[in-house]
A and B are shown apart, each in its own frame.
Chain A
Amino acid sequence: MNRSRLPQGSTAALVLILGSILASLVGAGLQLLANTQLLVPSLDRLIPMAWFNYGRLAPASQFLLSYGWLGSGLLGVLLILAPRFSGIAFRYGRLLFGGALLWQLAILSGFTQILLEGSSGLIGMPQPRFVSILLILSFLVLGTGLTRGLGRSWKSGPLLPRLYLLLALLAFPLGLGSAEALLRGTVTPGSVQIITQLLWHSFHQHLWLAPLGIALIFQLLPTLTGRAATSLNLGLLAWIATALFGGWLGTVRASDGPIPSWMQSTGVVASILMAFVAIGNGLLVQNLTEGRWEEIRRTVALRFLSVGAWSYAATYILLAFLSLPWVRPVMVFTVAWPALFEVFHFLFLGCVLAGSVYALLPVGREMGWPNSSALTWHFWCTTLGAAAAASGLLLAGSFQGLALSDAGVPTSTLASYLRPFLFVVIFAQFFWLVGQIAFASVLIASLLRLFPTAAPMAVFRNPTVIRPASIGHLHG
Chain B
Amino acid sequence: MKPTRALAIAFGALLLTWVAQAAVGYLQVGRLEPVLNEETNLTVPPVPSGLAHTGARVFASQGCLECHSLSARGPKDSADLTRGWGQRRSVARDYLFRDPAMLGTARIGPDLSNIGARMPEGDKLMQHLYDPRLLKKNSTCPTHPWLFVKKPAGPKAEPDALQVSPDGWHQLLPSYHAKALVAYLQSLNANYALPEAPLK
A263-B25, A407-B82 as given contacts; A257 in contact with B101, CB under 8 Å: no
* B22 and A182 contact, CB distance less than 8 A: yes
A117-B61, A335-B106 as given contacts; A260 in contact with B29, CB under 8 Å: yes
The docked-state distance in angstroms from the alpha carbon of A190 to that of B13 is 26
CB distance from A418 to the nearest CB of B (A): 7
Partner of A195, one of B21, B82, B108: B21
The docked-state distance in angstroms from the alpha carbon of A244 to that of B102 is 27
On chain B, the number of residues with a Cβ less than 8 Å from chain A's Cβ atoms is: 71
- Whether A174 is near chain B, meaning CB under 8 Å from some CB there, is yes
The docked-state distance in angstroms from the alpha carbon of A472 to that of B182 is 69
Partner of B71, one of A175, A258, A406, A415: A258
The docked-state distance in angstroms from the alpha carbon of A337 to that of B144 is 27
CB distance from B139 to the nearest CB of A (A): 7
Closest to A57 in B: B63
Partner of A154, one of B1, B65, B71, B83: B1
The docked-state distance in angstroms from the alpha carbon of A251 to that of B105 is 12
The docked-state distance in angstroms from the alpha carbon of A153 to that of B6 is 12
A53-B144, A256-B74 as given contacts; A415 in contact with B83, CB under 8 Å: no
A48-B143, A414-B109 as given contacts; A247 in contact with B21, CB under 8 Å: yes
The docked-state distance in angstroms from the alpha carbon of A215 to that of B32 is 42
A54-B67, A54-B142, A123-B103 as given contacts; A240 in contact with B62, CB under 8 Å: no
On chain A, the number of residues with a Cβ less than 8 Å from chain B's Cβ atoms is: 85
- Whether A120 is near chain B, meaning CB under 8 Å from some CB there, is yes
Residues of B within 8 A of A333 (CB): 69, 104-107
- Whether B160 is near chain A, meaning CB under 8 Å from some CB there, is no
Residues of A within 8 A of B10 (CB): 163, 166-167, 170, 243
- Whether A254 is near chain B, meaning CB under 8 Å from some CB there, is yes
Indicate with 1 or 0, residue by residue over A191-226, a CB within 8 angstroms of chain B CB atoms. 111111101001100010000000000000000000
A119-B60, A258-B95, A260-B92 as given contacts; A55 in contact with B66, CB under 8 Å: yes
Partner of B105, one of A45, A253, A260: A253
Interface centre among B96, B109, B142 (most CB of A within 10 A): B142
- Whether B41 is near chain A, meaning CB under 8 Å from some CB there, is no
A44-B142, A118-B62 as given contacts; A258 in contact with B107, CB under 8 Å: no
Can you list 5 A-B pairs, Cβ within 8 angstroms, ordered by A?
A50-B146, A170-B11, A243-B10, A258-B91, A407-B79
